[in-house]
């Protein structure tokens, strides 16, 4: 059984945040798991007999766009009723608390925005955005399910999910913005991520290398837990409200 964060760890994390004006939060699948969103790496399953890692690729889409869209259409249908949990809500509230608060996420579900977060840095894109393979126009589209698969752009081109597939590079402008924020922040919160997927996980190394305090919030130690100044061992939906309560007590 995973040990829950003790009050001393909550207190130390709150002290770090109370002294900070520039904060970055880096979130992963564990944040959304508490909203009922399956963790991508935890699923370990097949889609129509294919490993997921072989479905979410440019090559699979080029070979069989209908199969790939059936996979993503089902994910969109499953995500549609999901709602933000207390972790999303605390992070959304912190954008008003700190002089600079940057939220970078590996999640594609947009639950951070649903909770009220603005200008979220989507390192791996959003499942609720589509991009035309012909004209390259990208837009939000929350249709679920699509009436016909694979969906098409008004120009006639095939639409694809605007997510980063295996074998694709992260959007450089988003990654660079996140890296600059990590290098300049005073506190980096690493929330609900195993910190094994690069280059996104490099945010932790950049922040720690620049002298920022690192607070890890996760039931188990991540691959970069050794860089954390404080570790809150428990679900983000429980740990972040406790941290917010302790922080509010210092600034009220």
Q: Provide the annotated active-site residues.
A: 124
Tokens 């997927």: give the residue: 197
Give the count of beta carbons closer than 10 Å to the beta carbon of residue 203: 28
Rounded CA separation 251/18 (Å): 7
Over the range 131-157, which residues count as b (16 or more CB within 10 Å of their CB) and which as e?
bbeeeeeeeeeeebebeeebbebeeee
- Helices and strands per DSSP (H, E), number in the chain: 11, 11
Contact between 106 and 27 (Cβ < 8 Å): yes
Phi, psi of 106, rounded to the nearest 5 degrees: -90, -10
* Sheet-wide strand order for 100-105: 121-122, 100-105, 22-27, 187-191, 213-217, 230-232
Phi-psi region of 156 (alpha: psi -120 to 50; beta: other; left: phi over 0): left
Contact between 150 and 175 (Cβ < 8 Å): no
């Amino acid at each position: 059984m995973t040990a829950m964060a003790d009050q001393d760890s909550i207190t130390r994390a709150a002290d770090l945040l109370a002294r900070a004006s520039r904060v970055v939060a880096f979130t992963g699948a564990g944040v959304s798991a508490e909203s009922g969103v399956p963790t991508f790496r935890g699923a370990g399953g097949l889609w129509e007999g294919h490993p997921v890692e072989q479905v979410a690729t440019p090559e699979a889409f080029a070979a069989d766009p209908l199969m790939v869209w059936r996979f993503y259409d089902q994910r969109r249908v499953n995500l549609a009723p999901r709602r933000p949990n207390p972790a999303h809500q605390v992070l959304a509230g912190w954008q008003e608390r700190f002089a600079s608060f940057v939220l970078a996420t590996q999640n594609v579900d947009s639950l951070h925005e649903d909770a009220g977060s603005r200008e979220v840095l989507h390192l791996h894109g959003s499942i609720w955005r589509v991009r035309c393979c012909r004209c390259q126009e990208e837009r939000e589209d929350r249709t679920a399910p699509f009436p016909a698969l694979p969906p098409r752009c008004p120009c006639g081109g095939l639409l694809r999910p605007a997510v980063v597939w295996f074998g694709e590079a992260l959007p450089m402008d988003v990654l660079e913005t996140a890296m600059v924020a990590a290098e300049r922040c005073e506190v980096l919160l690493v929330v609900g991520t195993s910190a094994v997927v690069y280059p996104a996980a490099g945010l932790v190394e950049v922040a720690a290398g620049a002298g920022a305090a690192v607070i890890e919030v996760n039931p188990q130690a991540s691959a970069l837990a050794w860089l954390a100044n404080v570790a809150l061992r428990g679900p983000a939906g429980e740990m972040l409200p406790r941290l917010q309560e302790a922080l509010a007590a210092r600034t009220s």
